[in-house]
Amino acid sequence: MQSLRIKIQNYNLKLILILVVGYWLLVVGQAKAQTPPEFLVSWRALNYVPADYQGKIFPTKSTRVEAAFDLIDKNKVADLSRNEIAWYLNNNFLRSGVGLKTIAFDVPNNLDQVVRIAVSGYKENTLEKIFLLPAKNPEAVISAKTPAGKILRNRLRLSPTSHLFEARPFFFNISELNDLKFNWRVNNKAIAGEPANPEFLGLNLQSEGPAQETELGISVGISNLFNQLEVASGLINFVVK
């Protein structure tokens, strides 16, 4: 009798375990089945950055941008070759077409842009994706090509020797550096850059007699020769000691 009760209890435990596992598998299966398709979006801005720049290239006003996407459904790239796809920029219609997974457009201003993609008729549904396209103003960065010393009063310390500085432009709508104009100033006085490479400025900071601590402010203004509204400036302060 006792043995029979033990067998019945074991059977009930196994039955409960099977029911629990089966329910869990059913829930997981339904969750996977209900996972909606996912948009995989990419874009690139076709403007200028230094060749060694490895960060994201941001558009500015009038920058040409190329965007594309894939639709991932159940871990596979969905076939959209027969679906109508529409693109919108800041809620303004850009273009539509069957299987139109790529597009190119010009950014109208230096503000962040909102891009919307609508895919019609995918499994009898319309799918949409909205993503932000961050924009920036052109930028100018001054780089000291010769090593600086320690920080002194929150400024870089330069030794009283010869130094080379480079103006590095970012996000200008140009194809090469020759399309830019560089205006250097040292302690607010205009000074010419290197004749053949005006993006570089060479300075000899040696002085006759005992070396004295000197404040040095170097600035550069960069402008697009073909668009006077596209400008940027950079400033960096040193202590020469």
> Is 196 among the domain residues?
yes
Over residues 138-174, the pLDDT tens digits come to: 999 999 866 655 655 566 778 888 899 999 999 999 9
127 shares its domain with 161: no
Give the H/E segment covering residue 69: strand 64-73
127 shares its domain with 143: no
99 shares its domain with 42: yes
Structure tokens at 18: 């099977």
Over residues 51-85, the pLDDT tens digits come to: 999 999 999 999 999 999 999 999 999 999 999 99
> Is 23 among the domain residues?
no
43 shares its domain with 75: yes
> Is 105 among the domain residues?
yes
> Is 13 among the domain residues?
no
108 shares its domain with 191: no
What is the Cα Rg of the chain in Å? Answer: 31
- Last residue in a domain, options 65, 100, 133: 133
Structure tokens at 228: 């006077």
Number of CB atoms found within 10 A of residue 120's CB: 14
Give the H/E segment covering residue 237: strand 227-240
> Is 113 among the domain residues?
yes
Name the band, by pLDDT with cuts 50, 70 and 90, for residue 214: confident
- Last residue in a domain, options 99, 133, 167: 133
So what's the pLDDT on residue 208? 59
169 shares its domain with 78: no
Question: In Å, what is the CA distance from 233 to each residue of 47, 104, 190, 219, 236?
Answer: 18, 29, 14, 7, 11
So what's the pLDDT on residue 154? 63
- How far apart CA 167 and CA 45 sit, in angstroms, is 21
User: Residue 211 above 80 pLDDT?
Assistant: no
Give the H/E segment covering residue 121: strand 113-122
> Is 8 among the domain residues?
no
So what's the pLDDT on residue 151? 58
Structure tokens at 38: 């996912």
- How far apart CA 139 and CA 169 sit, in angstroms, is 6
Structure tokens at 150: 């320690």
| Nearest one of 50, 20, 9 to 170, comparing CA atoms | 50
CATH number for the domain spanning 116: value is 2.60.40.10
CATH number for the domain spanning 188: value is 2.60.40
Number of CB atoms found within 10 A of residue 47's CB: 23
Domain housing 183: 139-240
93 shares its domain with 127: yes
Mean pLDDT across the stretch 183-205?
95
148 shares its domain with 234: yes
119 shares its domain with 105: yes
44 shares its domain with 111: yes
Average pLDDT over the chain, rounded to an integer: 86
148 shares its domain with 92: no
User: Residue 116 above 70 pLDDT?
Assistant: yes
Structure tokens at 92: 């303004």
| Nearest one of 168, 190, 189, 185 to 219, comparing CA atoms | 185
Domains: count for the chain? 2
Helix H segments across the chain? Answer: 2-33
Q: What is the pTM of this model?
A: 0.79
- Last residue in a domain, options 73, 98, 133: 133
